[in-house]
Amino acid sequence: MISSSASSRLVFQSPQQFSGDWFVPPATNVRIRQEKPSVISAAFASAAAERETTTTAYTFTPKLATSFYEVLGIPMGATSDEIKSAYRRLARVCHPDVAAIDRKSSSADEFMRIHAAYSTLSDPDKRAEYDRRFLRRYRSVGLCSNPRFSGYTGRNWETDQCW
């Protein structure tokens, strides 16, 4: 990957990473963020979808290949109250206003990731869509190798099978 910027802030790195980092997961992210589908979100979606099939940039960086549930540290069956309180708990730690001094620069990215996860999972429609579209592909990527995942869900037949 080519990095044109030395700062820790995600400035333009290579095109793929630039988009890939933000579009996690690429296919669904856009619909998540914008309530009314605008001209722009359509552009996002199509551009992102294209990129997904050609480059799958997000798989280059393993830390990004986590589910929104993992980002919030909650089980897949979490209630909406659990989602909200997980979001608040993480915000109390990760929001740049409160993050420790040595993490100021990375906390904005961290908080944005947390917020993206929250804004999808706190909306029942988007959450259902996410579960359907992303997790199906996500499993096939080889999630079972991640033991953390099964820790969150007491009974998960897929991970059970792997073990």
Partner 1 sequence: MAAEAAYTVASDSETTGEEKSSPSSAEVAIGIDIGTSQCSVAVWNGSEVELLRNTRNQKLLRSYVTFKDETPAGGVSNQLAHEYEMLSGAAIFNMKRLIGRVDTDPVVHSSKSLPFLVQTLDIGVRPFIAALVNNMWRSTTPEEVLAIFLIELRAMAEIRLKRPVRKVVLTIPVSFSRFQLTRIDRACAMAGLHVLRLMPEPTAVALLYAQQQKQQAEHENTGSESEKVALIFNMGAGYCDAAVTATAGGVSQIKSVAGSTLGGEDILQNIMHYLLPDMDNVFSSHGVEEIKKMGLLRVAAQDAVHRLSTQASVEINVDLGNDLKISKILSREEFEAVNHKVFEKCESLIKQCLHDAKVEIEDINDVILVGGCSYIPKIKNLVMTICKRGESYAGMNPLEAAVRGAALEGAVASGINDPFGNLDLLTIQATPLSIGIRADGNSFVPIIQRNTTMPSRREIIFTTVHDDQAEALIIVYEGDETIVEKNHLLGYFKIAGIPPAPKGIPEINVCMDIDASNVLRVFAGIMMPGKHHPPAPFMEVRMPTVDDGHGWCAEALHKAYGSSLDLVTVQKKVQQ
Determine, following the binding rule CB under 8 A, whether residue 134 of this chain makes contact with partner 1. Answer: no
Pull the structure tokens for residue 126: 């988007």
From 57-65, 66-74, 86-94, 141-149, give the range in contact with partner 1 by CB under 8 A.
86-94
- Determine the Cα–Cα distance for residues 158 and 88; give it in Å rounded to an integer: 30
Q: Which is nearer to partner 1, 2 or 163 (CB)?
A: 2
Cβ-proximal residues to 82 (8 Å cutoff; 6+ apart), any chain: 74
Which listed range, 59-67, 91-99, 140-148, 153-161, lies at the site for partner 1 (CB under 8 A)?
91-99
| Among residues 61, 77, 104, 160, the one that binds partner 1 under rule CB under 8 A | 104
Nearer CB in complex with partner 1: 34/56: 34
Q: Which of residues 26-85 bind partner 1 (CB under 8 A)?
A: 33-35, 38-40, 42-44, 46-47, 81, 84-85
SS3 labels along the chain: CCECCCCCCCCCECHHHHHHHHCCCHHHHHHHHCCCCCHHHHHHHHHHHHHHHHCCHHHHCHHHCCCHHHHHCCCCCCCHHHHHHHHHHHHHHHCCCCCCHHHHHHHHHHHHHHHHHHHHHCCHHHHHHHHHHHHHHHHHCCHHHCHHHHHHCCCCHHHHHHC
User: Site mask, partner 1, residues 3-22, x = CB under 8 A?
Assistant: -xx---xxxx-xx--xx--x
| CB-nearer residue toward partner 1: 4 or 161 | 4
Q: How many binding residues for partner 1 (CB under 8 A)? A: 41
Interface residues toward partner 1, by CB under 8 A: 2, 4-5, 9-12, 14-15, 18-19, 22, 33-35, 38-40, 42-44, 46-47, 81, 84-85, 88, 91-92, 95-98, 100-101, 104, 108, 111-112, 115, 119
